[in-house]
């Protein structure tokens, strides 16, 4: 039987398209025009090899089946209205019940309090409802039913200022009427931090994780409410702004940033890979170097971070068995890269990164150039450079999929 190649979803959210490329050839297997992915919410892996994202311009959740056209199915399998601009996107472990929060968009201050809940049980007729919660930029996780008296999934919002976790019954929200009525919480917890940023959810234990200045808060479902556990420390100065579940090794990953508060001095920021073993309950940290490091990608045998710095960008590969750094691979410079004295995220080019927990390949974009470097993470070698016809301004956004890779076991959009 022919081997099914991994596929790379390449979103150019500025130009407005999604390309599906075979790897490593780069041959186009599908194209969706007129779609502007909400970059902050990212791609969400769903069971059955599907992938969801929010079209921020249309105000729709879009579900893709990257291998569908090979088997006589459409590439776009479902669309449903949602509130925009989308901030975060998550699903329950079944992949049927989703939630989308709203954020700043192109505004200086939080202004939207809209939350959308979705039911994809019938892809031919998906349902959604919009409700009002609290103005901000909330993170979101969706917890499965658990325990006596719990009959429905819980949508949990992680709020800042004041910091809290607020739980809502998904079915109650879905039953809301028109005109965006206020939602009534089923329960919640006050957090000690007002600077939360970063969320993860372990479906196996039902534990949710929320990154904040003092550490990673943990909570689990208790009926229709929540119970909290002892926070996990960052193991040194700084904090992580991003969390990602590694379903292969059952590790929680982040990047800890420390250094000057002035964003113009970003080349001086120190970065460290932080991990927590979910079953062994051990935590560690490994220095990565100075500059801007943010999102990461999980491959079958490696974890990858992209580091941006005026003296040269690189892809850093970690062997999780140490963990230890197994390779540092130089990346070609970006013409519109961040400069010293300016912020590393306003009006500059960026890099997107993607991998599948079912294979060795890592993809890293070169924002503004329409190029994507493909790396074999196990060998630590460059495979090829892919080129697309649009520039991938702001870095674009990437997702790498492979049949049976269990990527959906990380049920938060990336």
The C-alpha angle with vertex 13 and arms to 65 and 360, in degrees rounded to 5, equals 55
Beta-sheet strand order (sheet of 127-132): 86-91, 97-102, 114-119, 127-132
Cβ contacts of residue 234 below 8 Å, gap of 6+?
215, 216, 240, 256, 274, 285
Same domain, 229 and 277: no
Domain that holds residue 229: 35-233
pLDDT exceeds cutoff 80 at 1: no
- What CA–CA distance (Å, rounded) separates 349 from 337? 5
Give Cα separations from 152 to 54, 142, 172, 186, 316 (angstroms). 24, 10, 9, 11, 41
| Cα 396–Cα 73–Cα 17 angle in degrees, nearest 5 | 20
For residue 207, what pLDDT is reported? 97
My answer on whether 243 and 208 are in the same domain is no
Predicted confidence (pLDDT) at residue 150 exceeds the cutoff of 80: no
Looking at the structure, tell me whether residues 227 and 371 fall in a common domain: no
Taking only Cα atoms into account, the Rg of the chain, rounded to an integer number of angstroms, comes to: 20
Question: Are 50 and 43 spatial neighbours (Cβ–Cβ below 8 Å)?
Answer: no
> Looking at 233, 264, 295, which one is the last position of a domain?
233
pTM of the prediction?
A: 0.96
In this structure, is residue 2 part of a structural domain?
no
Same domain assignment for residues 245 and 281: yes
Residues 51 and 171 in one domain: yes
Report pLDDT digits (tens) over 235-281.
999 999 999 999 999 999 999 999 999 999 999 999 999 999 999 99
Mean pLDDT of 3-19: 96
In this structure, the answer to whether residues 127 and 252 fall within a common structural domain is no
pLDDT tens digit sequence for 124-142: 999 999 999 999 999 999 9
d(CA 78, CA 63): 5
Dist. CA 134–CA 169, nearest whole Å: 16
Residue 199 maps to which CATH number? 2.130.10.10
One domain for residues 242 and 203: no
Summarize pLDDT for 300-355 with one digit per residue, the tens.
Answer: 999 999 999 999 999 999 999 989 999 999 999 999 999 999 999 989 999 999 99
Element (H, E) at 241: none
In a domain, 3, yes or no: no
85 lies in the same domain as 129: yes
- For residues 262 and 142, state if they share a domain: no
Confidence of residue 2 (pLDDT cuts 50, 70, 90): low
Same structural domain, 147 and 239: no
How far is the C-alpha of 238 from the C-alpha of 183, rounded, in Å? 35
Asked, for residue 8, whether it belongs to a domain, the answer is no
Q: Are residues 330 and 254 in the same domain?
A: yes
Assess if residue 270 is contained within a domain.
Answer: yes
Give how many domains the chain has, as a whole number: 2
From 30, 108, 107, 106, select the one nearest 75 (Cα to Cα): 30
Given a cut of 70, is residue 228 above it in pLDDT? Answer: yes
Residue pair 276/216 in contact by the 8 Å Cβ criterion: yes
3-state helix, strand, coil in the chain (%, to 5): 5, 45, 45
DSSP 113-182: -EEEEEE-SSTTS-EEEEEE--SS--EEEEEPP-STT--S-EEEEEETTTTEEEEEEHHHHHT--SS-PB
Tell me if 248 is assigned to some domain.
Answer: yes
Q: Would you place residue 3 in the very low, low, confident or very high pLDDT band (cuts 50, 70, 90)?
A: confident
Are 140 and 213 in a shared domain?
A: yes
pLDDT tops 90 at residue 32: yes
């Amino acid at each position: 039987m022919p081997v099914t190649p991994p596929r790379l979803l390449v979103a150019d959210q500025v130009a407005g398209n999604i390309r599906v490329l075979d790897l490593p050839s780069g041959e186009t297997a599908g194209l969706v025009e007129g779609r502007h992915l909400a970059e902050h919410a990212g791609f969400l892996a769903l069971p059955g090899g599907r992938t969801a994202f929010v079209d921020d311009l249309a105000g729709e959740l879009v579900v893709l089946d990257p291998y569908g056209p090979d088997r006589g199915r459409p590439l776009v399998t479902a669309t449903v209205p949602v509130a925009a601009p989308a901030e975060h996107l998550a699903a329950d472990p079944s992949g049927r019940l989703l939630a989308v929060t709203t954020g700043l968009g192109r505004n200086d201050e939080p202004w939207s309090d809209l939350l959308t809940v979705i039911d994809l049980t019938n892809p031919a007729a998906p349902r959604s409802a919009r409700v009002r919660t609290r103005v901000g930029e909330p993170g979101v996780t969706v917890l499965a039913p658990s325990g006596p008296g719990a009959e429905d999934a819980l949508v949990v919002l992680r709020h800042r200022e004041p910091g809290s976790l607020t739980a809502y019954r998904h079915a109650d929200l879905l039953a809301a009427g028109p005109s965006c009525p206020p939602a009534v919480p089923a329960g919640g917890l006050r957090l000690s931090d007002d600077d939360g940023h970063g969320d993860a959810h372990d479906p196996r234990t039902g534990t949710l994780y929320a990154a904040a200045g003092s550490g990673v808060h943990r909570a689990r479902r208790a009926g229709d409410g929540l119970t909290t556990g002892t926070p996990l420390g960052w193991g040194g100065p700084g904090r992580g702004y991003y969390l990602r579940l590694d379903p292969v090794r059952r590790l929680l990953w982040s990047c800890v940033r420390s250094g000057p508060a002035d964003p113009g001095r970003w080349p001086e920021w120190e970065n460290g890979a932080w991990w927590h073993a979910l079953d062994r309950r051990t935590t560690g940290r490994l220095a990565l170097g100075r500059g801007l490091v943010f999102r990461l990608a999980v491959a079958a045998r490696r974890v990858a971070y992209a580091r941006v710095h005026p003296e040269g960008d690189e892809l850093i590969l970690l062997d999780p068995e140490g963990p230890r750094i197994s390779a540092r691979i130089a990346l070609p410079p970006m013409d519109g890269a961040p400069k010293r004295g300016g912020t590393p995220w306003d009006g500059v080019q960026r890099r997107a990164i993607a991998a599948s927990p079912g294979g060795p390949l890592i993809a890293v974009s070169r924002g503004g150039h329409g190029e994507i470097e493909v790396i074999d993470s196990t060998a630590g070698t460059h495979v090829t450079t892919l080129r697309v016809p649009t520039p991938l301004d702001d870095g674009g956004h990437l997702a790498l999929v492979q049949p049976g890779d269990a990527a959906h076991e990380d049920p938060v959009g990336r």
